[in-house]
Amino acid sequence: MWKIQRNSTKKAISEGKVEVVQGNVSSLPFKDEKFDLATAFETIYFWPDLVNDFKEVNRVLKSGGKFFICNEAAQPEGFEKWTNKIDMTIYTKKQLKDILIMAGFTNIQTHEHENGEWLCVIAQKP
């Protein structure tokens, strides 16, 4: 399975359909208002300054653009086996909503599994 995905990615890169850019979320290497959508899957646990980093995402989104966050961990409780081993922070939906508002996002929707097993958040740049 991986071989097929890797080969299709290589093909998309060689055809100019995909560009791989390495960067830092605290200072994204893109111009203002470049994207319609930004996603963060299982990564914000490790972002160094969530307010600033969300402001960076906001900066590169076009007006009306969406920011989609998906985390496997929705509550710090029960994930101590990870947070005690590695430097990561697990945020609640309230914390994320408050930080997204501070970063300038609106229309924030949160979707959490009933047992707190995952959390998805959609926010919009005004």
Inside any domain, residue 83: yes
Inside any domain, residue 80: yes
Position 117 scores a pLDDT of 73
The β-bridge partners of 71 are 119
> Tokens representing 81?
């086996």
Inside any domain, residue 94: yes
Inside any domain, residue 4: no
pLDDT digits (tens, 9 = 90+) for 11-61: 888 898 888 889 999 999 999 999 999 999 999 999 999 999 999 999 999
Inside any domain, residue 61: yes
Q: Quote the domain boundaries for residue 46.
A: 36-111+121-125
Contacts of residue 33, Cβ cutoff 8 Å, sequence gap at least 6: 59, 60, 61, 62, 63, 65
Inside any domain, residue 18: no
pTM, two decimals, is 0.85
> Tokens representing 95?
């914390």
Domain count, the chain: 1
